[in-house]
Chains A and B, each alone.
Chain A
């Protein structure tokens, strides 16, 4: 259960050296884009501040956010974050179960009123009064609203919680609804991605713990430090885009030479995330580096933006699979045909009326 011990106490108890600890502080400061002075600030905060209680709830989701989170690149990061925050409740990985587990929620709500962070993985289906997601014997949406009442802030982990993701894709039978549409009047930090990058997740948590404030958010409610630029802006294949060198087919010369994947449907130009800078799996690679375009997993409704392999989105509203160009060309063709017919009728009409007039 939550104690008043600091993060530093916890990691020293776990046998992590002071040296490793300061290393982590510098790395985190760097990944958040701060100068060297901040590393000291982080160290001091972690040494002196009480750990932040975090309640981690799972709604309609696939747990890929948790999977990503526990694979944070630097092995220490996992320990740090799991120890830094006082993860009092996470029904996925906690030892307690049943009534014992649910009692923790009651206790945290009472003891840390207005202090705890509510981290939500997945979203709440609202259809049929929320019956599509039952958690602890009641609809998840109820539990979510109930826990959010006394939280300091809500973190919406992943695209599910931020935008809805696959379960909210059309026609969205369960009416899966992102967190910010369920909870109002509460700061909500969206950390989209399917899953989000582990270092981004730990970075957000570290920021809140260290500075005791919430990160600056953009128009969509995402932390500016990780979601201000597109994959395209920092893509190492960008020179090939500007040069006009593209992969046309998956096995062509361009693909072998590592050209830009724009024509094969890369959503990098419309996706805000840190993949092209932070990368994945200890900074080993990211989709584009592996030769596959970005699918835009951190964007709203990315499942409803047509194929992952088309540059131009297919528009289903028109009843057929057609992109803007096909629809536009068809419209232009129909109008052109109508004009030709109209012109022909005009000519015929003129000739006949003239004849009448002459005759």
Chain B
């Protein structure tokens, strides 16, 4: 139960109507939490690859700190990529909500709803609209600040990895074209770094909005990503 529902349940005198809809399928939820773990790990290790920790002492052969940090970064990146491939498969076979953050609809209604949500966040609308699945504004933000940057990070990441793996690696065969766009890979390093910050800024906004909506918009958000269900509570504050 969300905090909000317990409040409603306590105030017994009011009539409580709860509806629940199942819509986040298991692969979507698995991807979400897999991403949460991978992105946190990748951001941390990635940061320390760009700005290494203070030097360790002793023989070089007795230490492998940078090597380990890089190994974790690469290994987790592979996990993230495999999850992304599974998720892309699910875009085609999953339900309608599994597709939402992979494209932006051009319908007028979508933009109207986005505008309404902006008004809601600007404290201009009294009540938020209710949605099963992603809210329009969330969907827009996720597409531009998460889905696209994530794809960008995977592509540039494999391209950078191919530098060490060698020109005859499959990574270079698949992602070498990135070097046709940015021949100097220092630029790709910089963009890969900026991409991390775009995703981290998204994460901050994402967590804040999810928690806030969970508390005040009378629909479950955070628990939906665990159970897959959305609970609607009709009681007004």
A-contacting 9-mer, from B15-23, B89-97, B185-193: B185-193
Within 8 A of A (CB), among B122-137: 123
Asked if A315 and B56 make an inter-chain contact with CB atoms under 8 angstroms apart, the answer reads: no
B189 contacts which chain A residues (CB < 8 A)? 269-270, 313
Q: Assess A299 versus B201: contact at CB under 8 Å? Given A233-B164, A312-B50, A324-B193.
A: no
Asked if B66 and A241 make an inter-chain contact with CB atoms under 8 angstroms apart, the answer reads: yes
B204 within 8 Å of A (CB atoms): yes
B179 within 8 Å of A (CB atoms): yes
Q: What's the nearest-Cβ distance from chain A to residue B152, in Å?
A: 14
B118 within 8 Å of A (CB atoms): no
Q: Assess A245 versus B50: contact at CB under 8 Å? Given A328-B197, A357-B237.
A: no
Partner of B65, one of A229, A243, A259, A300: A243
Asked if B53 and A244 make an inter-chain contact with CB atoms under 8 angstroms apart, the answer reads: yes
Q: What's the nearest-Cβ distance from chain A to residue B127, in Å?
A: 11
Partner of B176, one of A163, A219, A241, A343: A219
Task: Give CA–CA (A248, B123) in the complex, Å.
Answer: 50
B179 contacts which chain A residues (CB < 8 A)? 219-220
**A248, A302, A313, A357: which has the most chain B beta carbons within 10 Å?**
A313
B-contacting 9-mer, from A142-150, A169-177, A274-282, A346-354: A346-354
Asked if A243 and B163 make an inter-chain contact with CB atoms under 8 angstroms apart, the answer reads: no
A325 within 8 Å of B (CB atoms): yes
B187 contacts which chain A residues (CB < 8 A)? 301, 305, 313
A218 contacts which chain B residues (CB < 8 A)? 167
Q: Assess A328 versus B196: contact at CB under 8 Å? Given A220-B183, A312-B50.
A: yes
Q: What's the nearest-Cβ distance from chain A to residue B14, in Å?
A: 12
A301 contacts which chain B residues (CB < 8 A)? 184, 187
Asked if B193 and A328 make an inter-chain contact with CB atoms under 8 angstroms apart, the answer reads: yes
Q: Assess A336 versus B204: contact at CB under 8 Å? Given A248-B54, A313-B189, A327-B197.
A: yes
B88 contacts which chain A residues (CB < 8 A)? none
Classify chain A's interface size.
35 or more
Asked if A230 and B163 make an inter-chain contact with CB atoms under 8 angstroms apart, the answer reads: yes
Asked if A328 and B184 make an inter-chain contact with CB atoms under 8 angstroms apart, the answer reads: no
Asked if B61 and A244 make an inter-chain contact with CB atoms under 8 angstroms apart, the answer reads: no
Asked if B63 and A245 make an inter-chain contact with CB atoms under 8 angstroms apart, the answer reads: yes
B106 within 8 Å of A (CB atoms): no
Asked if A312 and B183 make an inter-chain contact with CB atoms under 8 angstroms apart, the answer reads: no
Asked if B167 and A224 make an inter-chain contact with CB atoms under 8 angstroms apart, the answer reads: yes
Asked if B205 and A335 make an inter-chain contact with CB atoms under 8 angstroms apart, the answer reads: yes
Asked if A228 and B205 make an inter-chain contact with CB atoms under 8 angstroms apart, the answer reads: no
Q: Assess A245 versus B167: contact at CB under 8 Å? Given A312-B193, A328-B200.
A: no
Asked if B63 and A324 make an inter-chain contact with CB atoms under 8 angstroms apart, the answer reads: no
A56 within 8 Å of B (CB atoms): no
Asked if B216 and A327 make an inter-chain contact with CB atoms under 8 angstroms apart, the answer reads: no
B13 within 8 Å of A (CB atoms): no
**A245, A312, A325, A343: which has the most chain B beta carbons within 10 Å?**
A245
Task: Give CA–CA (A270, B62) in the complex, Å.
Answer: 26
Interface string of A262-305 (1 = CB under 8 A from B): 11000101100000000000000000000000001001111001
Interface CB pairs A-B, < 8 A, 5: A242-B67, A270-B163, A328-B197, A328-B201, A354-B237
New contact pairs (6) apart from A296-B186, A325-B193, CB-CB < 8 Å: A228-B166, A229-B167, A243-B62, A243-B65, A259-B55, A357-B237
Binding site for A on B (CB under 8 A): 47, 50-57, 60-67, 69-70, 121, 123, 163-164, 166-167, 176, 179-180, 183-187, 189-190, 193-194, 196-197, 200-201, 204-205, 208, 212, 216, 237
Closest 5 CB pairs of A and B: A328-B197, A244-B65, A324-B193, A243-B63, A242-B67
